[in-house]
């Protein structure tokens, strides 16, 4: 491992965890999907105070970075509070999404059904035993592609995406510091300023009658999640953990590319949505923040040595999301295809 500064060494209060390097997500998923659908533990999820990560007090900042490091090592996901995004931004986006999913305009939305792999706006309505949701996915960056209706919706999406991008860039810088490196390490490695971003909006259930208890099957992302209902997040020890977000709390999940970049030190996670027999329509909003599509991602040499051999192959982000036959707007994981060992 590369040498780190005295300040960084204080952050690294625990030994880097590589013991899960050969963790097989697919094997665990196979087991969990055949287990009790509602089985999930209520472990306390780490909460990170975003403002303290940038505190003028060295002691406060150090403690916040240590908490962030612990959350990334042990969980790969955490709640984010005091993120400085105004309540009005959240109110606007939730109202805008609700207006978009107005059931009286259902036929108008069908123009965004899949037409080609190059879609930048995609809508779908699913009601089955395996998936129950109506969703809208839009590419938000580096170029935005938003629906023209309802009136003002595109402006709301633009504002929300801009605010979330600011938070994600800030988090990337503090994640870099939690690893013991200069603050732009992750940001530069993933080219986040020109990164490919998708906003995914979901309505659960998609109609008054749900055909199953699964709102959304498992998937991976570097995400910012707002108002998720019945979320199950997979922990490092192969358990589903119950997650609940309120309007002032954002759930952050590390992406596959952070796992690849750190050679498995910081791990991405999967999650699914369980709606049960829910009779009330609910909304979730997910920001998917990835590298530039053409950016080659591979383990940094800072995390590779004789004891920790390279675990992932080099792939562009575009190759990563398309290797399983998905389109760019789908942003599906291909972590197993990238794995070398």
| Residue 19 belongs to some domain of the structure | no
Distances 304 to 12, 177, 259 between C-alpha atoms, Å: 18, 18, 13
- Number of structural domains the chain divides into: 1
In the chain, the N- to C-terminal Cα span, in Å, equals 20
122 backbone dihedrals φ, ψ, rounded to 5°: -140, 135
- Give the pLDDT confidence score for residue 34 in this predicted structure: 44
Nearest alpha carbon to residue 264 among 312, 319, 323, 315: 312
Q: CA dist 108 to 46, 94, 166, Å?
A: 42, 20, 33
What confidence score (pLDDT) does residue 18 get? 31
Q: How many residues does the chain have?
A: 341
pLDDT at position 318, please?
93
| Residue 18 located in a structural domain | no
Report the 10 Å Cβ neighbour count for 66: 16
Residue with tokens 């999406």: 157
pLDDT at 45: 82
pLDDT 10s digits, 259-273: 999 999 998 877 666
175 touches 259 (CB < 8 A) = no
Q: What is the pLDDT of residue 12?
A: 52
State the burial class of residue 139 (Cβ atoms within 10 Å of its Cβ: 0-12, 13-18, 19+). Answer: buried
CB contact burial 206-224 (16+ within 10 A = b; e otherwise): beeebebbbbbebbbbbbb
Residue closest to 317 by CA, chosen among 261, 254, 253: 261
Query: Cα-flanking dihedrals φ and ψ of residue 46, to 5°?
Result: -60, 140
pLDDT of residue 19: 31
The whole-angstrom distance between residue 62's C-alpha and the CA centroid of its chain comes to 25
Retrieve residue 13's tokens: 């209060």
The answer to whether position 10 is within a domain reads no
The reported pLDDT for the residue numbered 234 is: 52
Q: What pLDDT does residue 251 have?
A: 86
CATH of the domain at 57: 2.60.120.330
In a domain? residue 1: no
94 is a domain residue: yes
Residues of the chain with pLDDT under 50: 1-8, 11, 13-42, 208, 214-215, 217-222, 227-230, 233
Which tens digit of pLDDT belongs to each residue from 82-112?
A: 999 998 998 999 899 999 999 899 999 999 9
250 within 8 A of 83, measured Cβ to Cβ: yes
- What residues does 124 pair with on adjacent strands? 135
- How many other CB atoms are found less than 10 A from the CB of residue 287? 25
Q: What is the pLDDT of residue 282?
A: 77
Residue-level pLDDT at 76: 86
Q: Is 0.85 topped by the overall pTM?
A: no
CB 284 within 8 A of CB 225: yes
How far apart CA 47 and CA 113 sit, in angstroms, is 38
Contact (CB, 8 A) for 286 and 273:
no
The predicted structure's pLDDT at residue 268: 83
- Domain assignment present for residue 4? The answer is no
Closest CA to 69 of 156, 11, 137: 11
pLDDT of residue 29: 38
Helix axes 153-178, 58-74, angle to 10 degrees: 100
In terms of residue numbers, what domain contains 151?
Answer: 26-338
| Helical packing angle, 153-178 and 87-100, nearest 10° | 130
pLDDT at 133: 82
Which residues have CB under 8 Å from 279's CB, separation 6+?
Answer: 208
**Calpha distance 96→60 (Å, rounded):** 37
Residue 148 located in a structural domain: yes
The answer to whether position 123 is within a domain reads: yes
**Model pLDDT, residue 238:** 56
């Amino acid at each position: 491992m590369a040498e780190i500064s005295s300040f960084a060494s204080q952050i690294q209060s625990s030994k880097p965890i590589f013991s899960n390097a050969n963790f097989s997500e697919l094997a665990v998923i196979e087991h969990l999907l055949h287990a009790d659908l509602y089985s999930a533990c209520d472990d306390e999820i780490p909460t990170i105070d975003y403002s303290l990560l940038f505190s003028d007090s060295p002691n406060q900042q150090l403690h916040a970075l240590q908490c962030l490091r612990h959350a990334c090592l042990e969980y790969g996901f955490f709640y984010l509070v005091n993120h400085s995004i105004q309540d009005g931004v959240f109110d606007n986006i939730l109202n805008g999404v609700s207006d978009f999913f107005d059931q009286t305009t259902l036929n108008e939305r069908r123009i965004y059904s899949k037409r080609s792999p190059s879609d930048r706006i995609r809508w779908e309505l699913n009601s089955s035993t395996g998936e129950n949701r109506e969703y809208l996915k839009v590419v938000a960056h580096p170029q935005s592609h938003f629906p023209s209706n309802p009136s003002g919706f595109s402006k709301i999406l633009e504002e929300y995406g801009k605010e979330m991008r600011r938070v994600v860039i800030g988090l990337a810088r503090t994640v870099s510091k939690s690893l013991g490196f200069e603050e732009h390490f992750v940001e530069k490695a993933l080219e986040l300023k020109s990164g490919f971003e998708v906003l995914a909006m979901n309505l659960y259930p998609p109609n008054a009658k749900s055909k199953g208890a699964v709102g959304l099957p498992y998937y991976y992302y570097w995400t910012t999640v707002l108002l998720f209902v019945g979320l199950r997040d997979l922990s490092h020890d192969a358990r589903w953990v119950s997650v609940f977000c309120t309007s002032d709390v954002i759930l952050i999940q590390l992406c596959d590319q952070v796992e690849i970049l750190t050679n498995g030190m910081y791990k991405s996670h999967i999650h699914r949505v369980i709606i049960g027999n829910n009779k009330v329509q609910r909304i979730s909003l997910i920001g998917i923040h990835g590298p530039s599509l053409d950016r080659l991602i591979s383990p940094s040499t800072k995390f590779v040595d004789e004891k920790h051999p390279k675990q992932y192959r080099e792939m562009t982000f575009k190759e990563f999301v398309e290797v399983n036959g998905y389109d760019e707007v789908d942003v599906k994981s291909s972590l197993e295809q990238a794995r070398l060992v």
